[in-house]
Amino acid sequence: MRRICVIGTGYVGLVTGACLADFGNRVICADIDEDKIQKLLKGIIPIYEPGLKEVVDRNVIKKHLFFSTDVVASIRDSEVIFIAVGTPPGAGGEADLSTVLKVSETIAKNLNGYKVIVTKSTVPAGTGQKVRQVILRHGPAQAEFDVVSNPEFLREGSAVDDFMRPDRVVIGASSEKAIEIMRQVYRPLYINETPMVITNVETSEMIKYASNAFLAVKISFINEVANICDKIGADVKVVAKAMGLDGRISPKFLHAGAGYGGSCFPKDTLALLKTSQDVGVPTMVVEAAIKANEKQKLSMVEKIKQLTGDLKGKTIALLGIAFKPNTDDTRDAPSLVIMDEVLKAGGKIRAYDPAAMDVVRSSYPDVTFAADPYEAAQGADCLVLVTEWNEFRDLDLQNIKQLLKSPKVLDGRNVWDPKTMKEIGFEYLGIGRGIKA
């Protein structure tokens, strides 16, 4: 059992802390946000993530997991310190490291023995060296510590399973002592022979950005293919299936839709682009993927207009606000672009999402939030599916047709079969499904 402190109880920090406690470590999740810590102490999980509450509750009962606003005491009481604070994009797209470096300074001033300092936050290559310099500058003379990079690869909506059963664990370090301690931190995974990629700090940092950028490129690529399919009468779902059967390509992330969003892909691709500019190495593929994704979001509005004509005075039923199912995260979500553009054009929005409505309610006072999909559809001129929550797959489509003012549907995630929709009597548009049904 290792004594661990996780600084930051956001999405990454809380999942990391709870799961490391489940591995048998003693973990303190520390945060200066008193409201968040008070909720956690009362058993209230501040984020929507399936399965997380069960892991938290189990390890609180076992006294493996603790929560505290006393960051200093938590640092001094631990031997491994994970930095899991936010790194939002700056004005130029670069990752804002101010909080990471501020936390590093706090750690430096409270070194009371050898510590392994782990960056779990997504940070650009070179951040580990910056953290090291901060600690050397502000820490005691002859301080004993090692800086390690240990990037997360968590998908929102399945983060607990991703942490417990990862494809790989990446550890960037230059010290054998630190590497061995990290192996002990991840002991259950190490024993189960989960692939452990041991490398230097800079390579570890780069692995995270390269991985997310590649997946973003795949999404933007298949969306552009879908747009071509719309023009020539091809079906992108069949195209993607055939592509995915090629072992060199794989079917993952080849799902055409309204574009990607969330906390990782938009931020990380911009940060990688900024890094490439700083070192004078153009990343034309990544830059094209970013531009294609923004264009894809706007193309959803054009498809709505294709169904409804002028949006002024029209009511659009929007199903799904979160950027993906099983999360309440709306950062850079395609739904926000759609809502903004429809409202700007004089249209109205009646929206429903199982988890994310409260997140955006205050920002969209002109949007009506429905109690369920059927209320959203009532009297609407068009229904637009943006997020593929499972409950939307099982809607009573006959009922939906009767509720809509006009039986028009834009399926932004290709959830429904065009032939079935046509048979029911819908005027249907998918993404890259060839022609309007």
Report the distance separating Cα 375 and Cα 73, nearest Å.
51
Helical axes 52-61 vs 11-22, angle rounded to 10°: 50
Half-sphere exposure of 62 (CA within 13 A, CB side): 16
H/E stretch holding 178: helix 176-185
Cβ neighbors of 41 (< 8 A, separation 6 or more) are 67
Report the distance separating Cα 103 and Cα 30, nearest Å.
11
Report the distance separating Cα 298 and Cα 287, nearest Å.
17
Kindly list the distances between the CA atom of residue 262 and the CA atoms of 11, 216, 266, 313, in Å, as whole numbers in the listed order: 12, 11, 7, 30
Report the distance separating Cα 391 and Cα 241, nearest Å.
24
Q: In 301-374, at which residue ranges do the beta strands (DSSP E only) sit?
A: 315-319, 348-352, 368-369
Q: In 200-239, at which residue ranges do the beta strands (DSSP E only) sit?
A: none
Pick the catalytic residue: 5, 19, 29, 264? 264
Is 19 one of the catalytic residues?
no
Catalytic center residues? 264
